[in-house]
Structure 1
Amino acid sequence: MSAHILLVEDEVKLARFIELELTSEGYRISVAHDGMAGLTLARESAPELVILDWMLPGMTGVEICHRLRATGIKVPVILLTAKDEVGDRVAGLDAGADDYVVKPFSIEELLARVRAHRRRTQEADQNTLQFDDLSLNRRTREVFRGQRAIELTAKEFDLLEYLLNHPRQVYTRDQILESVWGYDFIGDSNIIEVYVRYLRLKLEEKGEKRLIQTIRRVGYVLRD
């Protein structure tokens, strides 16, 4: 399926031009012409990239960036703006934007930026497991709950990775023991309960909802 891009631009003719060019490149496009509509679509339609004008009716692009990042939404954002001072660029990037294109711009430059961010996203997706607001990067061994970084021990990481590989699938204690600790593990099977408790304490440290659920007399499952 082609990538879904959200375009938020209040200049209708410019928005239509960009939409047609992106569509011709094979992308699926959603368009909003004001800040509130753009924020709503960004939250509800799960785009894979957002192209966002800075000056919008109702809410600026920078405000939209702030709100998306505050709720843990990490979708790549390219800001479009006539503001080209260094301070403006810094403000946009500090708000959470990933890139910055100054108006007037060539459509070829914008399309190249889109392709570059799509390549980076695809590469990251190969290493990232995500469920709800919980994400795990296999390559960097980083774990986040929203934007909160979580420090895990090696075995805690291995257990969480195992559960994230197949969310909503119930695993028995024997399956977890064999896959995470190994077939030759000699020790107390209660080790699983101990590590699940450790994980829950860290994942729910700030009052977040529980994602690792206990299935009585069976095992564990990662689900909302």
Structure 2
Amino acid sequence: MTKLLLIEDDCETAEELRAELADRGFEVEWSASGTEGLDMARSSRPEIMIVDRLLPGMDGLTVIEALRKDQVRTPVLVLSALGAVDDRVRGLRMGGDDYLTKPFALVELLARVEALLRRPVDSRETTLRVGPLELDLIERTAKRGDRAIDLLPREFRLLEYMMQRSGQLLTRAMLLEEVWNYKFVPATNLVDVHMGRLRHKVDGPSESPMIRNVRGAGFILSVGQ
């Protein structure tokens, strides 16, 4: 069983999360305060953590910062009722790996936890680069050379996934599962529509194309096609 530490002071929220996570096969430990949660994180060494932003005793971001100073690289999903961009950016800069604003759907929280568990613990890049393409994962900005690229949230996630796997053939089924969190492959042109928009933004008229459609197979992002 995957050991998960939940640090959440709202008892109703905590009980709901504990029950759902236990049903999904997680071994859940719970703390209602930042100070106790930090001690538990240091002693029990969970494989993943869910930490509320505002906690009694010690702020959630302070808990995360203290763990990072101890070289503890455990993935952390930050929960918060504070949804401003600046607050999300601060949460990521303090060492959080992902940020979910309250109220949230349980299915989204579970998808984010699963995604963090799939990510190598030592891969905390804050900027992705493939050739002239650059993606800032904290500021949520993209550019190709000196040209800024304005991306919608789903386009950003799609490009992030492709850049992390540059040069690899990515099938539509892979993209539907990893980017859209589908657990089945529906009969839809969803990927093609979004990919068309993304290609239009990434590959300018006078620029060498970086996103290529491999007919009948999927898509590849690479340099020098």
In 2: Cα distance, 1:27 partner to 1:8 partner: 15
Report the counterpart of residue 66 of structure 1 in structure 2.
65
- Structure 1 residue 119 displacement after superposition: 1.4
In 2: Cα distance, 1:91 partner to 1:115 partner: 23
| Secondary structure, aligned partner of 2:119 | helix
Q: TM-score, normalised by structure 2?
A: 0.53
Q: Which has the higher helix share?
A: 1
- Structure 1 residue 118 displacement after superposition: 1.2
Report the counterpart of residue 96 of structure 2 in structure 1.
97
Query: Which structure 2 residue ranges, 5 or more long, are not aligned?
Result: 124-225
Report the counterpart of residue 222 of structure 2 in structure 1.
none
- Structure 1 residue 10 displacement after superposition: 0.2
Runs of 4+ in 1 over 4 A off after TM superposition: none
Query: Rg larger in 1 or in 2?
Result: 1
In 1: Cα distance, 2:41 partner to 2:85 partner: 27
In 2: Cα distance, 1:35 partner to 1:119 partner: 26
Report the counterpart of residue 119 of structure 2 in structure 1.
120
In 2: Cα distance, 1:120 partner to 1:71 partner: 20
In 1: Cα distance, 2:103 partner to 2:18 partner: 16
Report the counterpart of residue 47 of structure 1 in structure 2.
46
Query: Which structure 1 residue ranges, 5 or more long, are not aligned?
Result: 128-224
- Structure 1 residue 27 displacement after superposition: 0.6
In 1: Cα distance, 2:80 partner to 2:88 partner: 9
Show CA shifts across 1:102-127 (max 9, x none): 00000000000011111124xx69x9
Counterpart AA for 2:63 = I
Aligned pairs for 1:1-224 within 5 A: 2-121=1-120
Counterpart AA for 1:84 = G
Show CA shifts across 1:45-68 (max 9, x none): 010000000000010111001100
Question: Please, what is the CA RMSD of the aligned residues?
Answer: 1.4
Percent of matched pairs sharing the same residue: 42
In 2: Cα distance, 1:98 partner to 1:22 partner: 19
Q: TM-score, normalised by structure 1?
A: 0.53
- Structure 1 residue 36 displacement after superposition: 0.6
Report the counterpart of residue 183 of structure 1 in structure 2.
none
In 1: Cα distance, 2:110 partner to 2:21 partner: 7
In 1: Cα distance, 2:66 partner to 2:93 partner: 13
- Structure 1 residue 25 displacement after superposition: 0.3
In 2: Cα distance, 1:118 partner to 1:74 partner: 12
Show CA shifts across 1:161-194 (max 9, x none): xxxxxxxxxxxxxxxxxxxxxxxxxxxxxxxxxx
In 1: Cα distance, 2:35 partner to 2:86 partner: 25
Counterpart AA for 1:90 = V
